[in-house]
Amino acid sequence: MCAGIFTGVGYAALFGLVAHWLGGRAAAMAWPVRWLGALGRRSMSGYLAQSLVWGPVLAVWGLGLGASMSSWSASVLAVLTWALTVVGAARWSGRGVGARRRCSCGG
């Protein structure tokens, strides 16, 4: 149990270091960084899209594959779902769709 907690903190630190390293470099304008940024600006949409894929695939009322999928096949589906949300967010970003928020706090 504790190993999972420490591993999560380690991953967060690693991603923070990579983001810091990319922050001041020309790599920050590379397409993977722009695409990930587009998904970050549309994080709720990405979360909902992943839920719309996983719900029908895993639930009993859908395909019901939750009980029979191996860890490997679930991982492959997870990576493919995530990649599709990244591509979708990048396409929306290129069209200027969404992610335009205004602060309603009066500031």
Residue-wise pLDDT tens digits, 54-68: 888 888 888 888 888
In-domain check, residue 102:
no
pTM over 0.85: no
- Contact predicate 89/42, CB 8 Å: yes
Mean pLDDT of 19-32: 68
Q: Is 2 domain-assigned?
A: no
Range of the domain at 41: 28-95
- Of 5-14, 26-35, 37-46, 68-77, where does mean pLDDT reach its minimum? 26-35
Is 99's pLDDT higher than 60? no
Helices (H), the chain: 2-23, 31-41, 43-58, 71-95
Mean pLDDT of the chain: 78
The owner of tokens 């990244």 is 86
- Domain assignment present for 21: no
Q: Which of 8-12, 26-30, 41-45, 64-68 has the lowest mean pLDDT?
A: 26-30
Residues in the chain: 107
**Is 82 among the domain residues?**
yes
Domain count, the chain: 1
